[in-house]
Amino acid sequence: MTQNNAILEDNFGRKHNYLRISLLEKCNLRCTYCMPAEGIVLTPKKELMTAEEIVAIAKVFVNKGVDKIRLTGGEPLLRKDFPEIIEKLSLLGAEISITTNGILIDRHLDVLKRFNVTNINLSLDTLVASKFTTITLRNQFEKVIDNLYLLLNNNFKIKINVVLIKGFNNNEIIDFIKLTQFLPLSIRFIEFMPFAGNEWDKSKMVSHNEIVEYVKKHFSYTQLEKLEDEKNFTARTFKIKGYLGSFGIISSITNPFCDGCNRIRLTANGRIKNCLFSNIETDLLTPYRNGVALEKLIAFAIKNKLKTRAGMDSMEQVVNPDLNQDNRSMIAIGG
């Protein structure tokens, strides 16, 4: 890393080349593990970044060494100016990807293709229509499945995010893996994480080890193959021998991957969160609107990143509601 982009390096030598930008707080689903039952108080529109502001702030990061940008939310495809944002961001030269619930993919397929947004993370927690309605409180299962196949037929690289919740979808682990037999999908099982108002409880979480044991029981040792994990991985990856696709486990709770973390988050109201679990935010939007240069603020936010899960180093800490509930809801962070 050169002097120029040293502002993206923290005190533990981690280099942050991956920026996740939340485009908005609104969503067209109401996933119960993500959004509190009573909803959230939305930030007034004038306090959210405009398309121009998103691009200008992203440009500061790209100039300093960010080369990957992921757009998330809320639901990023709900933004009316999504095509404009993609078009302008694509000129910065960083690789752009999105995390979406898939409902509006068909509406934006041409834009995604035109601007080379080929990596899509699609969130889908169940393969059963009635359970989809139970967890999302919306009846959109068929739409999501149709759009998944639309993406596959158009050769997008797709990762499916599955938040596992005991008693809800842990009995679908094998069904999800079987999808990878003939489809080039990467399934990522995510340990359920605690955020404000999402009624997290450790007993509802399916851990990395439980998932591996469950898969081994079904497929046997010889069929399960450990793959080499990506650089700066979040998922520990596996495949079933002979299957086209793969699967991985994102174990932020039982087996965090903070040592290789290269991610910074920008909320829809223009604040840096240097860790998903951190409740400390650095406002970039207000200074930007006041003509202040952002580099020092970015450097400050990154330097202050703590070693593991925003200071919740141990399991005792992460399961403590006094600590884990003192954060925004996931819907307002952008996962």
Residues that bind ligand SAM in the complex, under the rule CB under 6 A: 27, 33-34, 72-73, 75, 99-101, 123, 161, 163, 190, 192-193, 195, 198, 330-331, 335
Query: Of 23, 66, 112, which Cα lies nearest the Cα of 232?
Result: 66
Least distance from ligand SAM to the Cβ atom of residue 205, Å: 9
* CB within 8 Å of 7: residues ≥ 6 apart: 64, 295, 296, 298, 299, 302
Least distance from ligand SAM to the Cβ atom of residue 64, Å: 25
Least distance from ligand SAM to the Cβ atom of residue 17, Å: 20
Q: How far apart are CA 27 and CA 304, in angstroms?
A: 31
Chain centroid to CA 263: 10
Least distance from ligand SAM to the Cβ atom of residue 282, Å: 21
Q: Which string of DSSP letters, residue by residue, matches 30-87?
A: --TTTS-TT---PPPGGGSPPHHHHHHHHHHHHHHT--EEEEESS-GGG-TTHHHHHH
Least distance from ligand SAM to the Cβ atom of residue 241, Å: 28
Nearest CB to ligand SAM, comparing residues 64 and 273: 273
Nearest CB to ligand SAM, comparing residues 32 and 262: 32
Q: How far apart are CA 221 and CA 333, in angstroms?
A: 38
Least distance from ligand SAM to the Cβ atom of residue 100, Å: 5
Nearest CB to ligand SAM, comparing residues 65 and 270: 270
Adjacency order of strands within the sheet including 68-72: 224-226, 235-240, 246-250, 185-191, 157-164, 119-123, 95-100, 68-72, 18-22, 263-266, 271-273, 281-283
Nearest CB to ligand SAM, comparing residues 65 and 267: 267
Least distance from ligand SAM to the Cβ atom of residue 188, Å: 8
Q: What dihedral do alpha carbons 110, 27, 278, 318 form, nearest 10°?
A: -110
Least distance from ligand SAM to the Cβ atom of residue 111, Å: 17
Q: Among the residues of the chain, which ranges form H helices?
A: 51-64, 82-90, 105-114, 129-136, 141-153, 173-179, 208-219, 285-289, 295-303, 315-318, 321-324
Nearest CB to ligand SAM, comparing residues 65 and 248: 248
Nearest CB to ligand SAM, comparing residues 33 and 61: 33
Chain centroid to CA 208: 18
Polymer length of the chain: 335
Nearest CB to ligand SAM, comparing residues 151 and 163: 163
Q: How far apart are CA 52 and CA 70, in angstroms?
A: 17
Nearest CB to ligand SAM, comparing residues 77 and 177: 77
